[in-house]
Structure 1
Amino acid sequence: MISKIYTIIKGTGKYIPHLRVKNEDFLNNTFYDTYGKKGEKSNQEITEKFEEITTITERRHVSKDLVTSDIAFFAAEDAIISSKIDKEKLDYIIVAHNFGDVKHDNRKSDLVPSLAARVKHKLKIQNPNCIAYDLPFGCPGWLQATIQADYYIKSGDAKQILVIGADVLSRISDPHDRDSMLYADGAGAVILEGKESDTPIGILAHTTRSDTYQFSEMLYMDTSFNPDSEHKDALFLKMNGRKLYQYALTTVPQAIQACLEKSKTPLSEIKKVLIHQANGKMDDAILKRLYALYDIKELPKDIMPMTISWLGNSSVATVPTLLDLILKDELKPHKINAGDSIVFASVGAGMNINAMVYKM
């Protein structure tokens, strides 16, 4: 068999903020509906129903002194240390995010210079041939950046690439919108490297779809639900949760199936499904739909590790953070062993969906 260049994960890193925000911390919030009217249910009822639907009991928020590029740097540094590479030999730094740097006392997106440029500066990388750029792609951003990196490596354009997913959603969520309880902060990173092999390893296949014609406005930015909000000109992240839920259940399993077929990997060989942690119950339903496509009713035990119950939805950071936790044996009993085939999948604003099959 002729040797080929495959893209492998050389090392991983993460930054999980220290501030734990529990559901009961929202009991004093005043929630409004989309029409600007106060909700009739008590906050106790709202938080209990929220936990039942999403499985989230707490989430992490960054401290006031940190912004997205800071935590992206922390995750990058962790990945560089774990991979034991020379950072000056990186060919690309790609940072997936959605809102730039948003300060706690000035909640406007700051995108110049790019977050990737800021991370490269913080890493003190002097090599001008290390190209740094950002990728805004909704929650699937980190996985899409990984897909781009795979193209660079397989084309011969790059040998080592740093891919980071980082977001601070706590500063763009409306405190008067109950969906604000979903959002969290965090960062995850990987070092990708080209490796020659006689047998398929690393990234075997990937698929992406963008359903912008019908579904582009299921996640959008708008003013506060509170008509008397002190932040009248501020824009907050809004979501059509019910339609998004149905969209994800219909399309994500299909995207994963298409990726498995593209990689010629039977579903029975998949040891782990690492999916974007958007909503615990939704992810469970997606997994059931995936196996239903193969007429399988009984799901393998522990195939889909979850962190959303204690980390919340940190957008582009959820999947790389999940991967790092498992590989560093910090999410027992989950393990990923050499030779295992795993699936990555994500869905988010756009609407965008992607999936990737990877062999360890």
Structure 2
Amino acid sequence: MHTRIIGTGSYIPSVITKNEDFINHNFLNIDGSTFGSETEEIIEKFESITGIQQRRYVREDQNSSDIAFLAAEKAIEDAKIDKETLDYIIVAHNFGDVASGSVQGDTVPSIATRVKHSLGINNPKCVAYDLLFGCPGWIEGCNHATAFIKANMAKNCLVIGAETLSRIVDKHDRDSMIYADGAGAAVLTASTEEGILSQLSATYTSEEAYYLFFGESYNKELQENRKYIKMFGRKIYEFAVTHVPKAMKECLDKSGVPIDEVKKIFLHQANEKMDNAILKRFYRQYNSSVPEHIMPMNIHTLGNSSVATIPTLFDMVRKGNMAHQELHKGDVIIFASVGAGMNINALVYKY
């Protein structure tokens, strides 16, 4: 039995925040000292490295579970299945529901339970649970769904990646410009037709474990009991460009598909410079050059929405909503991601 994706959906938040909207931010170093550069120069350098020109934030009345539900509705409709036939709802996220202005993440009940409730699914045997795996969470959810299907424990699974990172960023940290909100979903089903060809996951927890972490604001004058998402960007970059290409090669070799048959590569939209470096190193392992238009990107306008980047990107390309990007029946594609943990995964799929 194989696993195929039969429906996708995404929710792109309506609030657009451009780079110039950060011009009045007081960005500080980790020790609280000021930068020697003007904010405008910091923003220009940021854009040249990350490729991000704008990002999307949720409205004040929305949360991760809300946008997860909206993406899920679209995926179920696209899959043309009865929602009551879902055996699993798996929601990948990192911080749960964080209400606007709140300092706490809310995960009781789970985000998946909230999504199932909002969908109005009555079947108690539709199991809903959350998955914490950093940015690679959506791919890992697909790996879980595949395992359930292969074990004959499920026929239809809904896998969602949803995040509202705008709620947990430190406005005094220039890395805050990276993060965005969004949600993407897919329905996976048991099929006699090939779909997922191979999978790979790995977790590195030596010195890498705390490359992404929760920490205090860089503004030492603030008197608050609150923490924000923090990262060691250079260390993550070096880790990603070293390990992700190797994982992609191992996964592709495991599938038995030759490199020249790969039509699309969907990488986690974390950083344009990093993703391009990963792609080049991946092809270098096969002594090949990177084909034109092989890697779709939406980071320029949507930013880094963590677990949501790959499913939203895949949904956009699959539905013809991205210039110079399309998928055809039988195309072999690769999904790959890296994120907090540090976790890495890859998936080879025959469309």
TM bin, normalised by shorter chain, reads over 0.9
Aligned partners of 1:172, 1:330: CA distance in 2, in Å? 30
Look up the SS of the partner of 2:293 in the other structure.
coil
* Residue of structure 1 in register with 2:326 after alignment: 335
| Alignment match, 1:321 | 312
For 1:351, the equivalent position in structure 2 comes to 342
Corresponding residue for residue 208 of structure 2:
215
* 1:167-186 to 2 correspondences below 5 Å: 167-186=163-182
Q: Partners in 1 of 2:62 and 2:89 — Cα distance?
A: 20
Deviation of 1:262 (Å)? 0.8
Unaligned runs of 5+ residues in structure 1 are none
Alignment partners' CA distance in 2, 1:23 and 1:44 = 9
Question: Structure 2: how far apart are the matches of 1:87 and 1:332?
Answer: 32
1:286 to partner: Cα distance: 0.4
Instruction: Please state if 1:292 is matched with 2:284.
Output: yes
Q: Residue 336 of structure 1: CA displacement? A: 0.7
Q: Per the alignment, in what secondary structure is the counterpart of residue 110 of structure 1? A: coil
Secondary structure of 2:108's counterpart equals coil
The amino acid of 2:208's aligned partner reads F
* Equivalent-residue separation in structure 2 for 1:58 and 1:35 (angstroms): 28
- 2:272 corresponds to which of 269, 280, 283: 280
SS at match of 2:27: coil
Where 2:104 maps in the other structure, the secondary structure is strand
Q: Hey, what's the Cα distance between the residues in 1 that align with 2:218 and 2:247?
A: 34
1:174 is paired with a residue whose SS is coil
Cα shift at 1:242: 0.4
Q: Secondary structure of 1:20's partner?
A: strand
Residue type matched to 2:126 in 1? C
Name the aligned partner's letter for residue 168 of structure 1. Answer: T
Equivalent residue pairs, number: 351
Say whether 1:161 aligns with 2:153.
no
2:232 is the counterpart of 1:240:
yes
Matching residue's letter, 1:300: P
Distance 1:301 1:82 in 2: 29
Give the counterpart letter for 1:191 in structure 2.
V
Is 1:262–2:258 an aligned residue pair? no
> What whole-Å deviation, never above 9, does each CA across 1:305-358 have from its counterpart, x for those lacking one?
000010000000000000100111101220010010000000000000000000
Residue 36 of structure 1 and its aligned partner are, at CA, apart by 1.0
Distance in 1, matches of 2:35 and 2:100, equals 27
SS at match of 1:226: coil
Deviation at 1:214, TM superposition (A): 2.3
Return the offset for 1:180.
0.1
Q: CA deviation at 1:213?
A: 1.6
1:190 is aligned to 186
Q: CA deviation at 1:105?
A: 2.1
RMSD: 0.7
Distance 1:45 1:333 in 2: 32
Q: How does 1:1-360 map to 2 (within 5 A)?
A: 5-197=1-193, 201-229=194-222, 232-296=224-288, 298-360=289-351
SS in 2 for 1:102: coil
Q: What is the distance in 1 between the residues matched to 2:188 and 2:136? A: 17
Name the CA distance, whole Å, in 2 between partners of 1:342 and 1:93. Answer: 24
Provide runs of 4+ in structure 1 moved above 4 Å: none
Distance (Å, rounded) in 2 between the aligned partners of 1:240 and 1:277: 17
SS of 2:349's partner is strand
CA distance in 2, matches of 1:354, 1:88: 30
Shift of residue 267, structure 1, vs aligned partner? 1.1
Spell out, residue by residue over 1:76-112, the C-alpha distance to the aligned partner (whole angstroms, 9 max, x if none): 0010111110000100000000000000121310010
| TM-score relative to the length of structure 1 | 0.97
Question: Which deviations, in whole Å up to 9, do the C-alpha atoms of 1:26-54 show, x marking residues without a partner?
Answer: 00101110111121211100000000011
Q: Which runs of 5+ in 2 are unaligned?
A: none
Amino acid at match of 1:16: I
Amino acid at match of 2:341: G
Cα distance in 2 for residues equivalent to 1:272 and 1:216: 30
